[in-house]
Chains A and B, each alone.
Chain A
């Protein structure tokens, strides 16, 4: 798992576009985007960063066929899938720490107040990340890169649109009217979905020709 974590972080840091994105995305959302509810920019920041760290290695594997090399290393396919799913939580912790430090600096410099970055936001974003990844990973572990890329675009854009919808319209948004997404059910549903997705990905990746 350490090897996969090292790989993912190295890939994020070594890419110039990613570095710029990580540096500029927070000020962009906080200072430029106006939100109905102040907590939503923080929600989007945590979601996007975690999602980006998760997706970057897959993008590389697509471009450079590096999955040949990774799958030739002493790690079973089941382990590779399991670790990838477990690493989502580590990516999330890294994101929370990074965003927390970044926002603390912004707050200290008096640029803007960041009081809405709190445990409530952190708790609320977890199910959304789990649900997105639950759909994303099986696509990458099974399909050809181009199809997986389409699934990624659909998931990312629809999640983003949904979040922007809630951010701009609050209780009048479409997402707020979907009953099963209410606070009581969304976390257990997302956890069950995540576990099912893990089992599905293991099965799919084990039988896949690279």
Chain B
């Protein structure tokens, strides 16, 4: 199988944080959501893929090519959107576009102009005058205007209003209709991913918790609700994460059958959302 993005046993150490043997794979034509709490290692992983940070161990292949040896060729086919604006604030949209366009072999001015019009951006506006949402639209227009095969996005929807977040998701959904393209999308707003992601990779404290299809994830995990009297020391250990109140408990399990055997009809078993999975896994 040819993967568009393949990360194997990736390691990176800092003084107070380490990425430990990160591995996942993304096939062409799919959207992978990369979730985890703040400080879990999402941005570090993306910086390593983009070769902004040097890895201490492991391997990254993009389009089947080593990400360092074929850096230029790979980046020509990647569209990137970061969580903050890293464009030159004193330049106008048009000036910035002219600079960026000269680096890409397949830059398409017509596509860029279409997006600028669609996003209602004025090419003469200075980047520093744009709102956060407009800056994100500009980043997205740049990322989608050079025929990229892989779009890498680091928290693109954080701090944006629901209307614009939905707009971004619709655009990404359209991009993915071309089955040769893929999107790798980090976020902690998990509801966005429930709408569009095909795969979910969950990172916590620098380690991968799982990397599976969204359907598998949502199928495997369940939220269990019941009375506090059902819990004892051994039962508590059966759950990935548990929240107790005076009247009852809520817990996350990845073994629905065992919970059914243990409690029978005494508990309520519900489908877990990605947010539930993230919350209980992180909190324990």
Contacts and interface: CB of A to CB of B under 8 A. Distances in A.
Interface of A: 2-3, 6-7, 10-11, 14-15, 60, 64-66, 68-69, 71-77, 79, 207-210
B103 A73 contact: yes
A207 B74 CA distance: 19
A179 B183 CA distance: 62
A209 B102 CA distance: 25
Interface in B46-92: 47, 50-54, 71-76, 78, 80, 82, 84-92
Contact of A73 (B75, B89, B91, B95): B75
A157 to B, nearest CB: 25
Given A3-B103, A68-B82, A76-B71, A210 B88 contact: no
Contact of B88 (A11, A68, A208): A11
A15 B71 CA distance: 32
B105 interface: yes
B103 A66 contact: no
Given A68-B86, A207-B54, 15 more contacts: A7-B99, A10-B91, A10-B98, A64-B86, A65-B86, A69-B87, A72-B52, A73-B75, A74-B72, A74-B74, A74-B76, A74-B103, A75-B72, A75-B75, A209-B52
Contacts of B100: 3, 73
Contacts of A75: 72, 75, 103
A60 B72 CA distance: 23
Nearest to B98: A6
Contacts of A210: 47, 52-53
B183 to A, nearest CB: 16
B14 to A, nearest CB: 9
B72 A11 contact: no
How many chain B residues sit at the interface, stated as a range, is 20 to 34
A38 to B, nearest CB: 37
B115 interface: no
Chain A interface, DSSP helix/strand/loop, else mixed: helix
Nearest to A6: B99
A66 B102 contact: no
Interface string B24-62: 000000000000000000000001001111100000000
Contacts of A77: 71
Nearest to B50: A72
A79 B102 contact: no
23 contacts: A3-B103, A6-B98, A10-B95, A11-B91, A14-B88, A14-B90, A14-B91, A60-B88, A64-B86, A64-B87, A66-B86, A66-B87, A68-B82, A68-B86, A69-B86, A71-B50, A71-B52, A72-B78, A72-B82, A74-B72, A74-B73, A76-B71, A209-B52
A10 B53 contact: no
Interface string B156-180: 0000000000000000000000000
Nearest to B53: A209
The 4 closest A-B pairs by CB, nearest first: A69-B86, A3-B102, A74-B76, A74-B75
Candidate in A2, A15, A71, A77 with the most chain B CB atoms within 10 angstroms? A71
Contacts of B280: none
Contacts of B102: 2-3, 6
B104 interface: yes
Candidate in A7, A11, A72 with the most chain B CB atoms within 10 angstroms? A72
A65 B54 CA distance: 18
B99 to A, nearest CB: 5
Nearest to A71: B52
B103 A76 contact: no
